[in-house]
Amino acid sequence: MQSYFKLAGGVVGMMLLAGCSGQALYGAQKIQPTGSDFAQNLYSGYIDLAEAEYAEGDYSDSDVFARRAIAVGTGSAVAPEAIESRWLPGEHVAELTDARARLIVALDAGAAEKDPARAAQAQVMFDCWMQEQEENWQPEDIGKCRDGFMAALDTITPRIAAVSKPKPEAVRYVVYFRTDQANLDAAAEAVIAEAKAAAAKIGGAVVRISGNADRVGPDQYNVILSEMRAAAVAKLMAVGDVPIKAVYTEAFGESQPAIVTADETPEALNRRVEIIIQP
């Protein structure tokens, strides 16, 4: 599917108009969606999610889904949510990563053209699952989104000609740290345990571990801090009998932020170590 996941920039104006929390839904509802049957189904699904979150008083997530509706409704290609876009509980990262990979395979193989309604339903329910799993406090809602995704995916997969089981792909895990800290808390250890399980499943994986820091403190100090963070993660990754071919560590300091900020601005998403596991 040519250039399916390129996000166009033509919806910036609509996004700015809908910038206030809880107000994006109003702008999204005014859109007259254009494009393919898949795009129009995707638009309707995101509107439904935005309306449901708005009704629950979750205006932030209502805005997320409304802006996705605006993007797809005005002609941009919108991919399923990226795993790193949500603060997911560590024990669910691998499952969602695998689910997204399966969905991407189906979409790339032509599901959006061959069964647009079900393909759109699969993507919308995946994003719903991501959002509910991030909140992680309404198991019934999590189950509905997950089951809706699985049912839609199971329907579209047999319709795709010559879809084979995808080859193992690189998977990514992220460990976060407190300001000026390199020690691993319980949440970090849980994520690393998931990464080790993924490496064991692949067998003979290459693991790349990169440390990062936010912009609080001197540049050189943040390089050292990011080295310490990467080393702490690498040390725990090496504990136990995990069949890893090689481990590479690197430290970027504050040079590769997940979120661009002004100098001396604390940012939790930048205080991180990324673990990339490659087959």
Residues 186 and 257 in one domain: yes
- Domain count across the chain: 3
DSSP letters spanning 11-34: THHHHHHT-STTTHHHHHHT----
Rg from Cα positions in the chain: 20
β-pairing verdict for 244-251 and 205-211: parallel
Task: For residue 242, give every residue at least 6 positions away whose Cβ sits within 8 Å of its Cβ, in sequence order, or none.
Answer: 196, 199, 200
Residue 262's nearest CA partner among 225, 214, 226 is: 214
The domain of 143 spans 87-159
> Which parts of the chain have pLDDT scores under 50?
1-19, 161-164
- C-alpha distances (whole Å) from 46 to each of 18, 203, 215 are 15, 38, 35
The domain boundary, picked from 129, 159, 189, lies at 159
Largest CA distance in the chain: 57
The domain boundary, picked from 130, 159, 188, lies at 159
Q: What is this structure's pTM?
A: 0.53
At residue 175, φ and ψ (nearest 5 deg) are: -110, 135
| Structural domain contains residue 178 | yes
Q: How far apart are CA 41 and CA 4, in angstroms?
A: 16
| Structural domain contains residue 1 | no
Q: How far apart are CA 17 and CA 40, in angstroms?
A: 22
| Structural domain contains residue 4 | no
| Structural domain contains residue 220 | yes
N- to C-terminal Cα distance for the chain?
A: 25
In the prediction, which pLDDT does 19 show?
44
Q: Which residue has the tokens 């990226």?
A: 82
| Structural domain contains residue 54 | yes
Give Cα 74 distance to the centre of its chain.
23
In the prediction, which pLDDT does 86 show?
93
In the prediction, which pLDDT does 17 show?
40
Residues 97 and 51 in one domain: no
Residue 194's nearest CA partner among 82, 275, 103, 104 is: 275
| Structural domain contains residue 123 | yes
Contact 174, 86 (CB under 8 A): no
Residues 176 and 250 in one domain: yes
In the prediction, which pLDDT does 6 show?
34
pLDDT in tens, 101-150: 999 999 988 999 999 999 999 999 999 999 999 999 999 999 999 999 99
Contact 133, 45 (CB under 8 A): no
Q: How far apart are CA 126 and CA 37, in angstroms?
A: 19
60-68: long-range pairs with CB below 8 Å, 24+ = 60/21, 61/131, 62/22, 62/24, 62/25, 63/18, 63/21, 63/22, 63/23, 63/24, 63/25, 64/131, 65/127, 65/131, 66/18, 66/24, 66/25, 66/27, 66/28, 67/15, 67/18, 67/24, 67/28, 68/127
Q: How far apart are CA 242 and CA 197, in angstroms?
A: 8
| Structural domain contains residue 40 | yes
| Structural domain contains residue 55 | yes
